[in-house]
Amino acid sequence: MSARRLLLVNGPNLNLLGTREPDVYGHQTLDDVVALVSATAAESGHEVRAVQSNHEGVLIDAIHDARHDCAAIVINPGGLTHTSVVLRDALAGVALPFAEVHVSDVHAREEFRHFSYLSDLATVVVVGEGVAGYARAVRELVAALPA
């Protein structure tokens, strides 16, 4: 395992950041997210492997693979937050610390978005800080890693 690599996982529809509902999600793109996470991780000597998919199985495979060479995971599961037991099982199964990130304030939105299958397992949860929340998630997650 690489103590210096983080897996960045972005779930369904996050490839549309910057164009999808900019009043909710802002104007920054997924490329901006990857650049921000990479730069923030580099502050502590970490590199980032990024994956985004609209397919749950691709995300689960990436999480499984992370157990071999990553120290932790930063994940924005998108709508899978509220529906995916199998995503929760994958994160629990690899037993890596992870940060759950949401660009919007899911607790101020539709009621079905108030529940997360992941939050109770997460080392860090950042909600409603826009794309900048990814940077805070990385810093807090890295700080929580064993020395």
The single residue of 25, 46, 117, 134 carrying the catalytic annotation is 25
Q: Is 25 assigned a catalytic role?
A: yes
Please pick, among 27, 46, 102, 117, the residue that the annotation labels catalytic.
102
Which 3 state secondary structure label does DSSP give 116? coil
Q: Is 51 annotated as a binding residue?
A: no
Q: How far apart are CA 132 and CA 33, in angstroms?
A: 8
Give the span between the Cα atoms of 27 and 96, in whole angstroms.
Answer: 31
User: With contact defined as beta carbons under 8 Å apart, do 48 and 34 qualify?
Assistant: yes
CB of 120 within 8 A of CB of 104? no
Q: Which residues contact 29 (CB under 8 A, 6 or more apart)?
A: 17, 18
- Let me know if 102 is a catalytic residue: yes
Backbone angles phi, psi at 89, to 5 degrees: -60, -40
To the question of whether residue 103 is assigned a binding role by annotation, the answer is: yes
32 is in an annotated binding site: no
Active-site amino acid positions: 25, 102
Which segments are annotated as binding site? 76, 82, 89, 103-104, 113
Which segments are annotated as binding site for substrate? 76, 82, 89, 103-104, 113
